[in-house]
Each structure stands twice: as C-alpha cells, then as structure tokens.
Amino acid sequence: MIYIAPLSSWNTAFDATAHAVEAFLAFGYSIVETVGEYPRVEVTVRSVTAASIASRLNSYYVISEKSSDDPAPIELARGVVRLLPTELGEDKMVVALDCVPPSVDEVKDAYANTHLRTDDEWYDPLTLPEGAEDDADQALLGKSADWYWDRRTLTLSTTPLVPSNPIDMSDHVLASTLSVRVGELPYDRYVMQATVGWTQIAKGSQELPVGSQVLGIPTYTWQDFQQSFPKAGAQIGDNTGWSVAEAYCTDGGVYQTHEFSVSTPDVPPGSTVVAQARLLNCLIRLAYDYEQPREETAFLYLDPDGQKIVADGKHVVSEIIRLRTPTIDTSTPEWTAIDDETFEPRHYAVGSEVQYNGRTYRCITAHDADYDLGFQREFWVAISTKAPLRKGAYSYFDSARGRRTLAHLYLRGVETILRAYRCYEVSFECSWKVARDLTVDKSVSLGSMRGLPAGGVVGKVTGVELTADGPSRKAKITLGVFAGRGVAGKPNSGTDVDADGATFDMSGRVYSAPVIVENLPFVAMELTSLNEAGEQYAIMWAADDPKSALEMNPTQATITVPVLQEQDLLRRGLTANLVVPVPKGGVFANE
C-alpha cells in the first residue's frame, strides 16, 4: 500500500496512524535521487486526491508505503508541491514534489556559513569572482564533496566524492541489467595558474631621533647655511622615496672669532677682516612615500596517480584564476546610514564592524545611524583591517595567508582530478527492498561478475531510482567508480604548504633586498657636513682674500638615505610539481 498524506509542517514527524490511512491511498510513485541535486518524487493519485492537493500548492506531503513483509508503514520521502498535478488518465493524476525544506537557498547559505566558510585551506574567498562569496555552491569548492539532501528529513549536508564503508550488493544485482560505461576520459596533468596583484604601499614619517642625536655644525657661513637648510616637504634626491617631514637648524651661539689679513690691490696694506663662526644645532626628521605594484603567479602542476586508460600522449587541462586584490577588505561592509531593504535608519549593535573612509571600526555603543549627522565617531573605535594582506607586504604567497591560498588551490585541483577520474559509471537493477534505503550518501561494492572488471568494483552511489506501480516494484542504482591506482599515503613532501596533510614547497625566485616597510620608521639617515669652521679657517688663513675664499667654500650638508627603488611592475613566479592520489574503484587498465 502506498500513501501520500498532508503535513501540518514540513518537519512534522511521520505518524503511521495518521499518515498511512485509506484516505491517503495512492497508486504508485517514482523517487529519483541524483548526486548534487535535491530528490524529486512523483506520486500517482486519484483525480479527487489530486484536486485536494492542487488547492494546497506549496504545502508539504509525506509519502509512505507498507509492503506485505513490512511490519509497519515505512516513510519513503517528503516534499513540497510546486506545480499543479498533471493528468495521467481518466481517474489518475501525477503530483510532483521537491524534497527540500522551506527557504532552501537560505538553508544552503546557513549551512555554508556554519560548515564551509572556514578560516583554513578549505575555503578562500580571494579565489572567487566578485560577489561569488555569497554563493553557497562556491563555498563547496575544494571540499571534494557534493550536496546531499535527505529525502526523509529534508536536512542538508555534504557527501564525499570518495566511497567509504561500502555495502556489498553482489547478491542483489539483476545480472542482465548490469552495464558499465566510461564518460569523458580523464587527463594526465592538471595545471592551476593563480595570479595575484597588489600595490605595496608605505606612507609615514619617522620619529625623532632616528639613528643620531642633534648634529652640531660650526660654520662661518651660518646665515647661508640656515637659509639653504632643507624645509619640510622638500624631496631628498631624485625619486628616492624620501622627503623632509620636519627640519630645524637653530643658532647655538658664537663658536669662534678670528681676524684675517687681506692682501688685495683694492685695499690698503695691512687691512684685516674679522670673521665669526657660530655653532648651529641641526636635525632632520624624514618622511617616506613608497608605492610598488607587484604581481605573483603560482603554477601548480598536478599529476593524477591514475590508471593509464588511453595511451595517446599527454592530455593537459588548465585552469587560470585571478585572485582578488588581497589588500582590500571584502568581508566588512561599508558604513551606511540607511538600511537598503527597509529604507529606515540602519541600527548598529555593539560589536558591529564597518568600513568608513578607508578604515575599519567596531561599534561600542548601540545606536541608529543619522543620515544628517553622518558617521559619528563617538560610537565607534578603530580596529585593524581584515584585509588578507597588509598594504606594506612585499610578497603574498610567502605569507601565511598566501600559503592558505596555495593549499586551497591544491585542494581545488584535487577535487577537479577526483571528479575527472570518477569516470566509470556502473548501473544495475537490484532488489527493491534493499535499494529502498540507499541514497547518494552511500557506497556500494560489487564482486566479480560478468561485465565488471576482474575483482569487481567499489563506487559511490550517484543515482537512485525507485519506482512503484501498484504491486510492481523496480529499483535502479548508478555508481561512480574511480579509475585510480589507489596508492595510499601522501606522495608529496615539504614544509611551506599544508593542505589537509598534503605538504609541499613552492620553488621560485627569492626577492633580493625587498623593501620592508615595517623598518622604514627606523631607517637611520646619515647627515654629514662639508667645510665646517675648521676647514674654512684654514682656507681663509691661506688666502689673500679671505672673504672671497669663504664665499667659494661654504659649509654644506649632505643627507644620505637608502633609495626606495620603484619599478613599473615587479613580477614573480612560483611552481610546484605534485602527485595527486586517486582511489582505485576497479581495474580498468593494465598497470
């Protein structure tokens, strides 16, 4: 007996005494489960029953049955009616149901937030296109798993691609229905190319003193020296990245006074000139402004450890990914005064985080935003940005966050290879009673039999079709079977990157003398002087015209700083050659 009964709620528990009664009898059903999709059910009912169901679109029903050897009715599935029943005959109609809970998209998103969007190698929003971080399907990338909807509870979970704990169904297969086919042939190498670009930025100024105290400079040309001493904002050299943030040169008093003889034709014999040197106290505080566009590209060459199904040379498939800018925080929303859904003032609770004017803030006082007053700083405290990479970083893939990206890319590549090498499809009809409890979350093994590789196969259930028409029952099962060599262990080794236990290193050019922006506030400049008072004294003493000699040899200051060299674009490439283990579901080629 087959029944279809209305439910007061989608998650109302099945009650045989209420739901498996004569009033809800049906003629037959078809249940279809396909991996990655939600189950669907079609139930054949009487026209009068269909009319009742048609009046309750978007309502939930439970399908159950009791066979002759069932001690009690068994729940088969439940679902929601989306479409009007379709006519099948004079007194029969077909009702179609989707086995999903209400607000299915919200359920998927909530599951992704709880289980998939993690801060480890299993998830990396930087590798997703703009806006795709809100797509729950994108969050599943790299997990080597498919969505799984339980057709009885309508709960959502994931099921791994690789089979485990298989159920031996060798004794339940109808041998005449067994078929094996191969889908698209897998490839010998999978190449992932990931490029990330950003601008390394450092802007700031040093604190006094850096490297030296105030420099005392004695000079006879103290007035010219003070006038020509660098002022705030002056550039130091050409394109060095340094400028003067603050400078001063104060008079420290008389240093020395001397009288010098003048022996020139235009003055009487015995003439003299008096020169006075003064001590100047000088100090300069530097500012730095450095911007360097950078780009890094990682190449992962992944070689599947699979069976050689075809021998026609290398078949290479590649995927090119452009990472989003790592110095931009894409997870923290911008501050807005108006809620874009209600158009009312947006409420901010304590702990809310926003971006405003290029900085990140956390709410410390609950409040409703005021459009006229704008961003009210008294309600907020500045916090560190949540951007994956600091603006001053000179490398991405060498950072901890960059290694997470490399690990994620590896896991995505592994998933792609696993899907490609699950290329054999084994289908068969079997005992309906056994198949009734199978789902795409199960694995099945089949022993040696005609039509199968020697030794049989082990595969993941990828499809279930259960059909009932009156007393007639039919079950068809489809398996996805891997064509790998099944070598255990992790074939790669290294220390830089850890992707779920698979460790490896990247090789590539090492940056030579990169600008470490954290050190710039402490870089010591060298302030030196030429022709101080002692040298000037000797020059004037030996000259016939001390004044002219002094004018030709003024005291000069020289500032020496390391050049912050900027280039149009600095590129760097990194590579890794890795072997990816593939499960062995059967022997399909000579090894």
Residue 314 binned pLDDT confidence (cut-offs 50, 70, 90)? low
pLDDT digits (tens, 9 = 90+) for 421-450: 999 999 999 988 899 999 999 999 999 888
pLDDT at 491: 64
pLDDT at 489: 63
Mean pLDDT throughout 470-482? 95
pLDDT at 208: 66
pLDDT at 213: 59
pLDDT digits (tens, 9 = 90+) for 34-48: 999 999 999 999 888
pLDDT at 148: 97
Is 108 within 8 Å of 136 (Cβ atoms)?
yes
pLDDT at 367: 94
In whole angstroms, give the CA distance from residue 105 to residue 537.
87
pLDDT at 437: 92
Q: Over the chain, what is the mean pLDDT?
A: 91
pLDDT at 321: 96
Can you point out the beta strands (E) in 10-49? 25-26, 28-34, 40-46
Show Cβ contacts of residue 277 under 8 Å, excluding neighbours closer than 6 positions: 218, 219, 220, 222, 254, 255, 256, 257, 533, 536, 537
Residue 89 binned pLDDT confidence (cut-offs 50, 70, 90)? low
Nearest to 42 by CA among 19, 59, 63: 63
Is 253 within 8 Å of 322 (Cβ atoms)?
no
Which token pair is 580?
């990816």
Q: For the chain, how long is the longest CA-to-CA vector?
A: 141
pLDDT at 459: 97
Show Cβ contacts of residue 553 under 8 Å, excluding neighbours closer than 6 positions: 531, 535, 536, 539
Q: Which of 253-262, 489-498, 520-529 has the lowest mean pLDDT?
A: 489-498
Nearest to 302 by CA among 398, 411, 141: 411
Show Cβ contacts of residue 90 under 8 Å, excluding neighbours closer than 6 positions: none
Burial bucket for residue 381 (CB in 10 Å: 0-12, 13-18, 19+): exposed
Is 348 within 8 Å of 292 (Cβ atoms)?
no
Give 332-385's CATH code, choosing from 2.10.10.90, 1.10.1040.10, 3.40.50.300, 3.40.50.2000.
2.10.10.90
Which token pair is 70?
């069932």
Mean pLDDT throughout 235-246? 90
pLDDT digits (tens, 9 = 90+) for 260-310: 999 998 888 889 999 999 999 998 889 999 999 999 999 999 999 999 887
pLDDT at 490: 63
Rounded to 5 degrees, φ, ψ at 53 are -70, -40
Is 558 within 8 Å of 274 (Cβ atoms)?
no
Nearest to 155 by CA among 188, 115, 190, 127: 115
pLDDT digits (tens, 9 = 90+) for 184-212: 888 899 999 999 999 999 999 887 655 55
Residue 333 binned pLDDT confidence (cut-offs 50, 70, 90)? confident
Element (H, E) at 87: strand 86-87
pLDDT at 210: 56
pLDDT at 591: 63
Rounded to 5 degrees, φ, ψ at 64 are -140, 170
Is 254 within 8 Å of 278 (Cβ atoms)?
yes
Q: How many residues does the chain have?
A: 591
Is 237 within 8 Å of 561 (Cβ atoms)?
yes
**Extents of the domains making up the chain:** 2-98, 182-325+396-421+483-490+497-591, 332-385
pLDDT at 218: 96
In whole angstroms, give the CA distance from residue 419 to residue 583.
11
Show Cβ contacts of residue 211 under 8 Å, excluding neighbours closer than 6 positions: 523, 524, 525, 526
- Given a cut of 90, is residue 451 above it in pLDDT? no
pLDDT at 389: 93
In whole angstroms, give the CA distance from residue 165 to residue 459.
10
- Given a cut of 80, is residue 313 above it in pLDDT? no
Mean pLDDT throughout 95-113? 94
pLDDT at 523: 86
Nearest to 194 by CA among 413, 390, 392: 413
Nearest to 446 by CA among 460, 457, 435, 432: 457
CA atoms within 13 A on the CB side of 432: 16
Residue 349 binned pLDDT confidence (cut-offs 50, 70, 90)? very high
